[in-house]
Amino acid sequence: MALLAALVTVLLWASAFVGIRAAGEDLSPGALSVGRLAIGAALLGALALARGGRWPGRAELPLLLTCGVLWFGLYNLALNEAEQRVDAGTAAMLVASGPVLIALVAGFVLGEGFPRTLIVGCGVAFSGAVIIGLATSERGVAAGWGSVLCVAAAVFYAGGVVAQKPLLSRASALHVTWLACVIGLVVCLPFAPQLFYELGEARPSSIAWMVYLGTFPTAVAFTTWAYALSRTTAGRMGATTYLVPPIAIFLGWAMLDETPVLLALFGGLLCLVGVVIARRPGLPVRRREVTGQPATIRGQGG
């Protein structure tokens, strides 16, 4: 079930790159962020209040604020702004650096360690993401504000995931996701007047994309992500999102009539191989405790 939830998340997040580009034709980055999060928060809130589950306590508030501000608030603002300046392929490639940051930070902060399979898998998958970005970029990856924003989005994403992981052992995935979404919405509220103005001028298709982004890549995908993350390590879940770029390539071809070049297909294959490697259990490592008794340490599970 955890793997199925992770795959649902990856598919919906890949579609978000297409949705952001489409909705961004009429809605500014801040307006799209507040609209998407408002829809997501409403749907998640209705479900969370109707179902039981453990709520985060006061002790979890710092982590919850960190997750909500970084991942739901600043990440959305940065990515939406970036996709006004760079194409979806370049954005996906640059944001794909997030899982590497997650694995590194989680290894230190959460004590997940650095299994060899995880490190090798991340390296292979990141190489594939770079190839996809170079193959599908419309304007190149020259240094610019859009590229800087994509890297910033990756940093916000990594910080949010690392903060979220400990919460999922103390509260239900649904309640953590809803509260984090509400916090992100509060961060984006200054853009609410802009949203109301732009909705009056936007085409129905752009509004439909905003509703889609709030319903599926936000409400559904963030919940399935939290469910899967609560059952594996942050590093391995982060590595799974390397599937996003190749799926985004396919959706771009299917929905936007963008034909991927062979180099992009090769990059997608590397992403798949990297994810398979990263999700494999590490090999047992022998060590001796201080007491002198031998102990077997298993690699992090998938």
Residue-wise pLDDT tens digits, 252-282: 778 867 666 677 768 777 877 877 776 666 5
Is 182's pLDDT higher than 80? Answer: yes
Q: Which contacts (CB < 8 Å, 24+ apart) does range 145-148 have? A: 145/85, 146/81, 146/82, 146/83, 146/84, 146/85, 146/86, 146/90, 146/91, 147/82, 147/86, 147/90, 147/94
d(CA 39, CA 212): 9
Residue-wise pLDDT tens digits, 39-48: 999 999 999 9
Quick one: pLDDT band at residue 144, thresholds 50, 70, 90? low
Question: What are the domain boundaries of the chain?
Answer: 2-279
Q: What is the pTM of this model?
A: 0.79
Q: What would the mean pLDDT of 175-193 be, rounded to a whole number? A: 96
Structure confidence at residue 142 (pLDDT): 46
* CA distances to 26, 49, 50, 100, 157 from 154, in Å: 25, 31, 33, 9, 5
Q: What would the mean pLDDT of 233-255 be, rounded to a whole number? A: 76
Quick one: pLDDT band at residue 249, thresholds 50, 70, 90? confident
Q: What would the mean pLDDT of 10-17 be, rounded to a whole number? A: 92
Is 31's pLDDT higher than 60? Answer: yes
Q: What would the mean pLDDT of 183-201 be, rounded to a whole number? A: 97
Quick one: pLDDT band at residue 196, thresholds 50, 70, 90? very high
Q: What would the mean pLDDT of 55-60 be, rounded to a whole number? A: 90
Structure confidence at residue 136 (pLDDT): 63
Task: Look at 100 and 120; give whichever has higher pLDDT.
Answer: 120
Question: Could you give the dihedral angle defined by the CA atoms of residues 205, 211, 213 and 219, in that order, rounded to the nearest 10 degrees?
Answer: -170
Is 103's pLDDT higher than 90? Answer: no
